[in-house]
């Protein structure tokens, strides 16, 4: 291998490493990825939710149900929209959130609680360098915040 070819390969390798590092850093500041939702009562993982982004809008679906006693064939019987009686496994529970201008927050979307069938206003905030995600559901001034954990 000649010196010119070796330098060219090193430059290509360096560019690849920089691209991977840049993508990883961008992901840390984004809700995109796989998350464990945490049960408020037990502190145990409840489900794995996959959040994706398309044209600046995020959506999330239930990829796995992790509770030991969960009915994997459960349907959203209490839902009142297009998700009524659909299986919770695979269901889109996050819709329409967009990155707020100048902030590391995604908002103006909605989140569905399939256990009660209600939808709430949504705000997603990555914290701890993207290792966790604050998920706030609210109706008007009232709401609650859960902290989800990124799946390694």
* Dihedral sign of CA atoms 80, 86, 88, 92 in order: negative
Q: What pTM was computed for the model? A: 0.80
Distance CA 78, CA 80 (A): 6
In the prediction, which pLDDT does 50 show?
98
pLDDT in tens, the chain (152 residues): 665 655 555 456 444 443 333 434 444 689 999 999 999 889 999 999 999 999 999 999 999 999 988 999 999 999 999 999 999 999 999 999 999 999 999 999 999 999 999 999 999 999 999 999 999 999 989 999 999 999 98
In the prediction, which pLDDT does 121 show?
97
Query: Are 124 and 111 spatial neighbours (Cβ–Cβ below 8 Å)?
Result: no
In the prediction, which pLDDT does 132 show?
98
In the prediction, which pLDDT does 13 show?
41
Distance CA 21, CA 42 (A): 35
Distance CA 152, CA 36 (A): 10
Residue ranges of alpha helices (H) inside 29-149 are none
């Amino acid at each position: 291998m000649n010196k010119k070819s070796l330098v060219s390969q090193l430059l290509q390798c360096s560019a690849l490493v920089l691209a991977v590092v840049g993508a990883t850093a961008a992901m840390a500041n984004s809700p995109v990825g796989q998350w464990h939702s945490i049960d408020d009562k037990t502190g145990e993982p409840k489900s794995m939710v996959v959040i994706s982004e398309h044209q600046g809008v995020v959506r999330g679906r239930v990829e796995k149900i992790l509770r030991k006693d969960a009915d994997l064939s459960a349907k959203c019987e209490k839902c009142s929209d297009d998700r009524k009686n659909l299986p919770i496994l695979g269901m889109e529970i996050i819709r329409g959130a967009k990155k707020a201008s100048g902030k590391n927050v995604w908002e103006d979307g909605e989140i569905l609680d399939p256990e009660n069938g209600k939808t709430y206003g949504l705000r997603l905030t990555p914290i701890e360098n993207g290792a966790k995600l604050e998920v706030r559901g609210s109706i008007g001034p009232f709401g609650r915040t859960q902290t989800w954990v990124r799946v390694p």
